[in-house]
Amino acid sequence: MSAAKDRFMWLFVFFDLPVKTKTERRVATRFRNFLLKDGYMMIQFSVYARICKGQDRVDKHLQRLTGAIPQKGSVRVMQVTDKQYERMKILVGTKKNNEKTKAEQLVLF
């Protein structure tokens, strides 16, 4: 097994979706619900993250995400290693109770 298959990666999804009309709010809510059901956790409003073990899983979740993207708005994805994620600093505020910082904590589930 190669080291790349064992490496934990984090996917961050950043989005700005229109919410002026009832239909736009419904579409935005549907997208947020998709992220939660797909294992993402909310880091901040419109910023969600999930952990994946290996590049194959990252590719799988990117494909699923691509199929769920709303037609309007802006959605971006960033992939970082577990080591990079651990180095994230909170400058203002506190870490949320459901927010994990180590991949080992998530493997138990």
pLDDT value at 6 more than 80: no
Average pLDDT along the chain: 88
User: Helix, strand or coil for residue 89?
Assistant: coil
pLDDT given at position 103: 52
Q: Between 102 and 39, whose confidence is greater?
A: 39
Largest interatomic CA distance in the chain = 50
Q: What is the pLDDT of residues 43-81, one digit of tens each?
A: 999 999 999 999 999 999 999 999 999 999 999 999 999
| 4 contacts: CB under 8 Å, gap ≥ 6 | 54, 55
Its pTM stands at 0.82
Q: Between 100 and 29, whose confidence is greater?
A: 29
> Under CATH, which number does the domain 3-107 receive?
3.30.70.240
